[in-house]
Amino acid sequence: MSRHVHKRSRKSGLPPGSLIHIGEKKAERTKITIIDYDEKNFEVKEAKTVEECFPFKETATVTWINVDGVHDDEIIGKMGGHFGVHPLILEDIMNTAQRPKLEDMGDYLFIVLRMISFAGKKKGILSEQVSLIVGPNFIISFQEGEGDVFDPVRERIRSGKGRLRKMGPDYLAYALIDAIVDNYFLILEKFGEQVEILEEELVSDPGRRTIQALHTLKREIIYLRKSVWPLREVISGLERSGSCLIKESTGIFLRDVYDHTIQVIDTIETYRDMLSGMLDIYLSSVSNRMNEIMKVLTIIATIFIPLTFIAGIYGMNFDFMPELNWRWGYFAVLALMAGIGVFMLIYFRRKKWL
Interface of this chain with its own copies, residues 285 to 344, rule: CB under 8 A: 285-291, 293-298, 300-302, 304-309, 311-321, 323-330, 333-334, 337
Strand 138-143 and strand 62-68: pairing?
Answer: parallel
Measured at the CA of 16, the angle between CA 10 and CA 20, to 5 degrees, comes to 40
Three-class SS of residue 131? strand
Give the CA distances from residue 270 to residues 117, 213, 216, 221, in Å, rounded to whole numbers and listed in that order: 20, 18, 17, 10
Region 18-77 residues binding its own copies, contact defined as CB under 8 A: none
Contacts of residue 181, Cβ cutoff 8 Å, sequence gap at least 6:
231, 257, 260, 261, 264
Judged by beta carbon, residue 31 or residue 272, the one nearer its own copies is: 272
Q: Which of 103, 203, 259 is nearest to 251 (CA)?
A: 259
Interface residue with its own copies among 20, 44, 283, 336 (CB under 8 A) is: 283
Smallest distance from its own copies to CB 138, Å: 21
The minimum distance between CB 314 and its own copies, in angstroms, equals 4
* Residue whose CB is less far from its own copies, 98 or 243: 98
Residue 312 CB, nearest approach to its own copies (Å): 3
User: Interhelix angle for 169-204 vs 151-159, to 10°?
Assistant: 140
Instruction: Tell me if 137 contacts its own copies by CB under 8 A.
Output: no
Smallest distance from its own copies to CB 289, Å: 8
State yes or no: residue 263 binds its own copies (CB under 8 A): yes
Q: Which is nearer to its own copies, 51 or 326 (CB)?
A: 326
List 24, 52, 73, 103, residue binding its own copies (CB under 8 A): 103
Segment lying near its own copies (by CB under 8 A), choices 72-80, 131-139, 210-218, 232-240? 210-218
Yes or no: say if 65 and 56 are a contact pair by the CB < 8 Å rule.
Answer: yes
Q: How far is the CB of 167 from its own copies (least distance, A)?
A: 11
How far is the C-alpha of 184 from the C-alpha of 221, rounded, in Å? 12
Q: Is 167 in the site for its own copies (CB under 8 A)?
A: no
C-beta closer to its own copies: residue 74 or 196 = 196
Q: Select from 81, 136, 277, 339 the one that contacts its own copies (CB under 8 A).
A: 277
Residue whose CB is less far from its own copies, 58 or 309: 309
Among 25, 82, 121, 163, binds its own copies (CB under 8 A): 163
Strand order in the sheet with 42-47: 42-47, 31-37, 62-68, 138-143, 125-134, 109-118, 101-104
Question: Measured from the CB of residue 157, what is the shortest distance to its own copies in angstroms?
Answer: 11
DSSP H/E element including 224: helix 208-240
273: DSSP letter: H
Nearest to 314 by CA among 299, 298, 293, 329: 329
Nearer to its own copies, 27 or 226 (CB): 226
Binding part of the chain for its own copies, among 39-47, 130-138, 240-248, 265-273 by CB under 8 A, reads: 265-273
Per CB under 8 A, 280 contacts its own copies: yes
CB closer to its own copies, 58 vs 280: 280
| Percentages (nearest 5) of helix, strand, coil residues in the chain | 60, 15, 25
Least distance (Å) from its own copies to the CB of residue 260?
9
248: contact with its own copies by CB under 8 A = no
Q: DSSP letters of 1-36?
A: -GGGS---GGGTTPPTT----BS----SS-EEEEEE
Shortest distance, CB of residue 335 to its own copies, whole angstroms?
13
